[in-house]
A and B are shown apart, each in its own frame.
Chain A
Amino acid sequence: MTSYLIRNAQLLGGPAQDILITDGVISEIGTGLSASADVDIDAHGLIALPGLVDLHTHLREPGREDAETVLTGTQAAAKGGYTAVHAMANTFPVADTAGVVEQVWRLGQASGYCDVQPVGAVTVGLEGKKLAELGAMHDSAAGVRVFSDDGKCVDDAVIMRRALEYVKAFDGVVAQHAQEPRLTEGAQMNEGQVSGELGLGGWPAVAEEAIIARDVLLAAHVGSRLHVCHVSTAGSVEIIRWAKGKGWDVTAEVTPHHLLLTDELVRSYDPVYKVNPPLRTAEDVQALRAALADGTIDAVATDHAPHPAEDKDCEWAAAAMGMVGLETALSVVQQAMVDTGLLTWEGVADRMSHRPARIGRLSGHGRPVSVGEPANLVLFDPAYRGSVNPDSFASRSRNTPYRGLDLPGRVHATFLRGVPTVLAGELVELGELA
C-alpha cells in the first residue's frame, strides 16, 4: 500500500508537523520526520482535520440516478473533505428494508471515495403509519443505527414513541424531520414578513418547534436517543437547550445554509433558495450560530439534496426543495463560524467529525489525527479565496445557492483509510491508484 508523508501540516492545538501514513494508518507524527514515503505532500499552510462525517446526505440512488448516484455523491463528499456520509432513506424504493439498505451500503463500498452508512426509514414507505423492519436493517450488512423518515415528519405521536423505544434494543437513534404537517400545508418559504409580501405560503417556525418540543418529551419519557435534523429556528434552539439542560439524550444538527443564508434571498423567486426547512430570518441565523458555538447544536450536516436542472429551472411553486452542499460545507462553516470568531478549528473538527461520528456510532470515523488512528483526514487551505463554480462539482447536480460567490477555503486533500480520494483539490481516479 502506498505510503504518504505530509509535511508541515497545521495540527489542531499544536504546531505544524509532519504526518506519516503507512498501511492506511497514521504511523508517525513529528517535526522534520526523516522517514521515507512513496509520496511526499507539501502541506505548508494547510490544516489537518479529521475526515468529516455527514449525518444527512441524499445520494438519490436507487431511483433518481439522474440527480445523483452513490458514486457521484461520494465523489462530491470526498471533494468536500468527507470520509463518511449517512445516506437518507427517501430513495425509490424507500430504504425501509434490509435489502435496500444493503444495496446502498454495497454501492458505497464499491465507490471507494467515502464510507456510506445508510439511514433506514422509520416507517414503511415513509408513510408514517407502520414501523419499518428496524431490527432487520440493523442486523443487515449495513448495520443501520440511524433511522429517519427525513423529508417527512413522523407526526403520529404513538408511532414516534414506539420507534424511539424500539431502536433502544440496538442503540439506534431516530432522526426526526420536525415539521407539523397541518401547519405547513402549502408552505413554500419561511412564514414571516417576506412571505407576506411575496404571497408565498408560509412555513411557520412553530411547526418545527412544536414537534421538537413533543419529541424531546417523548424521548425523555421512554429514555431514548433523539436526533433533530436540520434545526432552523431560534425557538427550536431554546427547546433543545432546555432538553439538554435536563440531561436528556437529545442531539441536533444544523445545515451550512441555515448558518449563512436568510429568507430575504427568496425575494428573487429563484428556486435555488427553495429548501426544506426554509431559509429563516437573520435572527434565527444568529441563534443557530450561537447554538453551534456553545454545543447546543451538536453537528453540521449538509442535507445535500441534489436535483437535476429541470427540477429547479422553473417557477418557484413548481420547483423541488433542496440544495447541494457537500462540496461547499466546510467553506461555508469557515465563513459563518470561524472567520466570525465563533468557532475554532478544533470546534469545527468536533462539530463536523467527532460528534456526528458519535451520534451515528461510526467507530472508524471521527477519530483524532493521532498516531495509530485510521488515516481518515482532510487537508484544508483556509487562506484560499475563490468564487464557487458549480460546473466543477463532482456532484451530478448543480443546485447550489453559492454560484459565483466568494467563499473562503478549499479542500486540498482527503484521505480515506490512507488512500487519497482528493489531491491538489482534484478527485483522484481510484482505479489508477490500484
Chain B
Amino acid sequence: MKRHLVSAADLSRDDALLILDTAEELAQLSGRAVKKLPTLRGRTVVNLFFEDSTRTKTSFEVAEKRLSADVINFAAKGSSVSKGESLKDTALTLQAMGADAVVIRHHASGAPARLAQSDWLHGSVINAGDGTHEHPTQALLDALTMRRHLNPGLGNDLNGRRITIVGDVLHSRVARSNVLLLQTLGAQVTCVAPPTLLPVGIGSWPCEVSYDLDASLAKTDALMMLRVQRERMNAAFFPTEREYSRRYGMNGQRMAKLPEHAIVMHPGPMVRGMEITAEVADSPRCTAVEQVANGVSTRMAVLYLLLGGAVFNDGPSDAPRTETSEAAQ
C-alpha cells in the first residue's frame, strides 16, 4: 500500500496489522470526555459520495473530525454531478480546492481505482465502497472485530481462524474485500450461497465455496452474514424470500450449532426475519453494533496512517515512520 487504499489486496500482512493495532490505540479515544486529536489539523478530507450511504459516510465523518481534519461533504445528488459533470471534472475541482484525501463511494466498480491511477488529483484516495467490487475499510473493521473476539492483542493476526461468509457474495463488495484481507491475515474463509449468488470464477479465489450453510456451522469461528439487496429478490437469483430464509437465513437453531466462542457478524443494515432472525440479531453473540463502533477507529487509523506521515511497509519512505502510540497522545 502506498498513497491510496483502493483494495484490500493493497495491504500486506504487516500493513493490515499496523492498521488494526493503530485502530486499537485510537479506540481508547472514544472513552474520553474529549474525543479529539489534533493529528490532521489543517488537512482537508473530502467525502465524495456518489451513492447514498448513511453508515459509512457518518463513520468516515466522525473519524475525520476526531482527527481534527477539515471535512467537506460532497454528495452527487443535487450537485454539479447531477448536472452531468464527469468524475474527472469533479476530481479536478477537488484538486483545485486542495483536497489532501478523497474518501469515495461510487456505484461503479473501479471508480476509486480510476481516480487513484489518474493524474486528476494528487491526494490520497480511500475506497469507501465501489459498485460490487470492494469495501476495504469494512473488511478492516470486520477483521478488528474478529481479532478482538478470537485472538485479542496487538500484533495478532487471524491465523487458522475459520470464517464463513453467507449470502449475496456475487454483489457484495464487503465479501470481496473480506476474502482478500482475511486470507492475508491467515484465516480460512468459506463462502456459502446459492450458486446464483456466487461470482463466476470464485473457484480460484482464496476461499472455499459451499452451497450448504448447515454443513459449515460447526467449524465456524465467525459467521458473517451479508445483506441481500431488495432488488435481487425479484431478479430470479432465488425463488422466494421465504426459501432464501429457510436455506441461508440465520436463526436460533443454526446459532446453536456454532461453537460456543463463535460470533455472528453483519455489516448492516440487517433485513430481520429474512437474513437473520431477531433472536440472533439481538443476542450477545451478534457483533453488528460493535462493528459500527470499530468502523470509526479503523477509519481513523487508515486516515491517520495515510495522511499523518506514516507509511506502510512497501510504500515510499518519504517521511519517518510514526509510532502508533503517538496517535493516542
Task: Show the binding face of A for B, using Cβ within 8 Å.
Answer: 191-200, 202, 204, 268-270, 310, 313-318
Contact = CB atoms under 8 A, between A and B. Distances in A.
A196 B206 CA distance: 13
Interface of B: 86-88, 106-111, 113-114, 117, 130-134, 173, 176, 199-202, 204-205
B120 to A, nearest CB: 9
Contacts of B110: 198-200, 269, 315-317
12 contacts: A196-B200, A198-B133, A199-B109, A199-B130, A199-B133, A200-B131, A269-B109, A313-B86, A315-B110, A316-B114, A317-B110, A317-B111
A314 B200 contact: no
A314 B86 CA distance: 7
Contacts of B173: 199
A197 B134 CA distance: 9
Given A192-B200, A269-B114, A318-B87, A199 B106 contact: no
A315 B87 contact: yes
Closest 4 CB pairs of A and B: A193-B201, A196-B199, A199-B133, A317-B108
Nearest to B132: A199
Contact of A195 (B106, B107, B117, B200): B200
A315 B112 CA distance: 8
Contacts of B87: 314-315, 318
B88 A314 contact: yes
B111 A315 contact: yes
A126 B110 CA distance: 31
Given A198-B133, A199-B134, A310-B86, A317 B109 contact: yes
A272 to B, nearest CB: 12
A313 B90 CA distance: 13
A194 B108 contact: no
A272 B107 CA distance: 20
Given A193-B200, A195-B201, A197-B199, 7 more contacts: A192-B201, A194-B201, A196-B202, A199-B176, A204-B200, A270-B114, A316-B109
A200 B109 contact: yes
A25 to B, nearest CB: 52
A197 B131 contact: no
B1 to A, nearest CB: 17
Contacts of A204: 200
Contacts of A193: 200-201, 204
A270 B116 CA distance: 12
B200 A202 contact: yes
B88 A313 contact: yes
A198 B113 CA distance: 11
Chain A CB within 10 Å, residue with most, of B113, B117, B202:
B113
Contacts of B111: 315-317
B79 to A, nearest CB: 16
A315 B106 contact: yes
Nearest to B115: A315
Nearest to B113: A269
B168 to A, nearest CB: 12
Nearest to A193: B201
A321 to B, nearest CB: 15
A318 B108 CA distance: 8
A199 B133 CA distance: 4
B201 A196 contact: yes
Nearest to A190: B200
B125 to A, nearest CB: 12
A192 B204 CA distance: 11
A194 B201 CA distance: 8
A259 B200 CA distance: 24
Contacts of A317: 107-111, 131
Nearest to B171: A199
B177 to A, nearest CB: 10
Contacts of B107: 317
Nearest to B201: A193
A197 B173 CA distance: 10
B22 to A, nearest CB: 28
Contacts of B117: 268-270
Contacts of B199: 195-197
Contacts of A195: 199-201
A270 B176 CA distance: 20
A180 to B, nearest CB: 15
Nearest to B9: A197
Nearest to A204: B200
Nearest to B179: A197
Given A192-B200, A269-B114, A197 B205 contact: yes
Contacts of A315: 87, 106, 108, 110-111, 114
A268 B202 CA distance: 20
Chain A CB within 10 Å, residue with most, of B87, B108, B117, B173:
B108
A200 B108 CA distance: 8
Nearest to B118: A313
A217 to B, nearest CB: 27
Contacts of A314: 86-88, 114
A216 B322 CA distance: 67
A3 to B, nearest CB: 52
Contacts of A268: 113, 117
B194 to A, nearest CB: 16
Contacts of A269: 109-110, 113-114, 117
B116 to A, nearest CB: 10
Contacts of A191: 200
Nearest to B204: A193
Contacts of A200: 109-110, 131-133
B109 A198 contact: yes
Contacts of B201: 192-197
A317 B86 CA distance: 12
Contacts of B205: 196-197
B311 to A, nearest CB: 24
Chain B CB within 10 Å, residue with most, of A197, A313, A316:
A197
Chain A CB within 10 Å, residue with most, of B87, B117, B201:
B201
Nearest to A195: B200
A192 to B, nearest CB: 6
Nearest to A202: B200
B85 to A, nearest CB: 11
A192 B133 CA distance: 14
Chain A CB within 10 Å, residue with most, of B111, B176, B199, B202:
B199
A270 B113 CA distance: 9
A204 B107 CA distance: 22
Contacts of A198: 109-110, 133
Nearest to A310: B86
A199 B199 CA distance: 9
Chain B CB within 10 Å, residue with most, of A191, A193, A199:
A199
Nearest to B198: A196
